[in-house]
Structure 1
């Protein structure tokens, strides 16, 4: 009798544990994506509304003041990567905290501003919260990464295949990228660079995948979409 009770109790615990595991997997694979879709759409809507309301620069006026510092947690740009899909569109927010990366991509706060000399560096989830960088390994040299801040289009071009490294390889986001593997980035002097980072392997975080790019072109949003997005 006692053995039967133990077996029954153990079986019930296994069933309960299995149900919890299934619910957790469903949450990770499905519900975080639903949350991310709503959050990212909200971030893009907010940015676009701010851009509509911002004053149009007066070409005859005195030089404008230096741009304000990015506000932690706030949207700063929208990114497009045609290689990752025609509908791939993600907001870039300031900071890389877990809370920020639930809403979109995150700009490393210590790195350069968009389009400026230095290294504009961005992190994103490989999986969960919309899987923004799920297809990161598909990136190839020459691929366009296009961003807009509401006034200007910035077209960067990927210069390397994804580079696999460890989380402590922080030199990948230096102003002139200095990864542990010498010359992996291919840059040896100041420039206007882009670094994209995500987790590796696909469902883990023991390593990182890195892709670097260089600013290729800029033009005002009033001239329409850049050639990289024209198709």
Structure 2
């Protein structure tokens, strides 16, 4: 009969291996829990916090402007003398519009000064100057690209917003279709734009889409060739990435002074 003798050194090595496996398993579980918490924070908490903050800012702007209601939902604002008709101009002819006194021409950096309403998406969010992440976009606001025009002005009123997390105001702008309305309220007036066309994907460096006469430098078939009164909405695409940009364009249809 053969007797197997286990040396103390062998037992110690086995014990160390068991401890290493146990420690590794605990670390993996801990890392998994931390990652899960980060995902919950990004996908749920930041959205909730930003949406609530954006709603409070909209209400604050309405109080500041001395009114409690929002823009007309789902209908274009009526035309006024000096403003364009309620229908978009034919072809690419520019539209003439009178900008009422009091329109904010040069808001301070990160200042919220307008409210964007998209009835089809049940969206109503503040517009702030600049597109900084911490100062504007991560608050759930929509940001106005500096050096582009203001609402109602000739040229291109260009905006950016998150598609995912931090309120994700532009999550579903890919659902916008021609003739959908976009309203921009300021202290001076309500401007109604009508969605005209969409560029589903372009480079993040395609600066042509926010020029005064917007036209993609990557996909030249998309955009405009004549001056006009435009609005541009930009966001990241595909979802949960920032590799490309999704662009929606519209034309000014009407203006209603407050």
TM-score norm. by structure 2 comes to 0.77
Larger Rg: 2
Aligned residues: 209
The 3-state SS of whatever aligns with 1:203 is coil
Gaps of 5+ in 2: 1-14, 68-99
For the residues of structure 2 that align with 1:152 and 1:218, how far apart are their CA atoms? 7
The 3-state SS of whatever aligns with 2:197 is coil
Provide the alpha-carbon RMSD of the alignment.
Answer: 1.7
CA contact (8 A) 1:32 1:129 kept: yes
Residue 85 of structure 2 corresponds to: none
Report the CA distance between 1:123 and its aligned residue. 0.3
Asked if 1:127 corresponds to 2:169, the answer is no
Aligned ranges 1:109-120 → 2 under 5 Å: 109-120=146-157
Q: 1:106 to 1:166 in 2, by over 3 A?
A: same
The 3-state SS of whatever aligns with 2:66 is helix
Asked if 1:149 corresponds to 2:163, the answer is no
Report the CA distance between 1:178 and its aligned residue. 2.2
For the residues of structure 1 that align with 2:228 and 2:154, how far apart are their CA atoms? 5
Asked if 1:82 corresponds to 2:119, the answer is yes
For the residues of structure 1 that align with 2:121 and 2:105, how far apart are their CA atoms? 31
Residue 54 of structure 2 corresponds to: 40
TM-score norm. by structure 1 comes to 0.86
Residue 58 of structure 1 corresponds to: none
Report the CA distance between 1:179 and its aligned residue. 0.6
Q: Which consecutive aligned stretches of 4+ in structure 1 deviate over 3 angstroms post-superposition? A: 63-68
CA contact (8 A) 1:141 1:158 kept: yes
Residue 91 of structure 2 corresponds to: none
The 3-state SS of whatever aligns with 1:194 is strand
Asked if 1:173 corresponds to 2:205, the answer is no
CA offsets 1:44-86 (integer angstroms, 9 cap, x no match) = 1221232129xxxxxxxxx95885511111112111111212x
Residue 92 of structure 1 corresponds to: 127
CA contact (8 A) 1:136 1:162 kept: no
CA contact (8 A) 2:104 2:113 kept: no
Residue 23 of structure 2 corresponds to: 9
For the residues of structure 2 that align with 1:101 and 1:115, how far apart are their CA atoms? 23
The 3-state SS of whatever aligns with 1:102 is helix
Q: 1:71 to 1:171 in 2, by over 3 A?
A: same
Residue 38 of structure 2 corresponds to: 24
Residue 71 of structure 2 corresponds to: none
Residue 102 of structure 1 corresponds to: 138
* Bigger relative CO (Cα 8 Å, ≥ 6 apart): 2
